[in-house]
Amino acid sequence: MEWRDEGILLAARPHGETSAIIEVFTALHGRHAGVVRGGAGRRMAPVLQPGAQLDVAWRARLESHLGAMTVELTRARAAGVMGERLALLALGSACALCRFALAERQPMPDLYSATCALMDGLGQPGWLPSYALWELHLLEAAGFGLDLSQCAVTGAQDGLVYVSPRSGRAVTREGAGDYAARLLPLPQGLLRNGAMDKAELVQALDLSGYFLHHRLAHAIGHPLPEARARLIEALA
């Protein structure tokens, strides 16, 4: 069994004296792991950095095996944001959340494209709202997407200001009625896919964080990765 693909390096850890086990998020094969011979050496250290874009070749005797990988660096990302603390934390958070949320070897081409676009834009103007939108994309890919298209109560498509923590659906002020205090604020920047001020950005990450914690992490049975918490703390 063998294939060749492009992918984003999510993590690498030593394996034996000279090798490394890496996890990559690939375009056609989803989240996939493999052994890189010599991956623990100095020559590979600049290549095996989280967020790096790689040309990946995988080979194994059986499809169920861990298999061996050979990789070539096509684009480094961590070095480009090393001087931008928030961008570097966002890179680590995105990699950690992909490892946490994505099933192994399940292709997710839309999320893969969105993740590449996010990582390529880190540190550029408007990247923080893009990260907030990416977390919603991740929730959708993991099966816990929010429905922000219309009010869950009235069916209206305008005036959406809340999200139900129970259903994940948007609600208008009129539809909320006396239950408004129990609902989550919906920042308008998420509806416009546009710019957000600091307050809206915090609301957006609180919103996605609620469902990441109460739905995704609860389903997986493990707490969210600390890398996301470090990003949120730095923003605060």
Determine the pLDDT at residue 72. Answer: 97
* pLDDT number for residue 236: 83
For residue 142, the model assigns a pLDDT of: 96
Report the pLDDT value the prediction gives residue 83, as an integer from 0 to 100: 87
Tens of pLDDT along 86-133?
Answer: 999 999 999 999 999 999 999 999 999 999 999 999 999 889 999 999
Distance CA(91)–CA(97), nearest Å, equals 10
Which stretches of the chain drop beneath a pLDDT of 70?
none
Q: Buried (b) or exposed (e) across 74-95, using 16+ Cβ within 10 A?
A: eeebbebbeeeebbbbbbbbbb
Instruction: Report how far Cα 157 is from the mean position of its chain's Cα atoms.
Output: 28
Q: What is the mean pLDDT of the chain?
A: 95
Domains of the chain: 2-76 (2.40.50.140), 83-148+186-235 (no CATH)
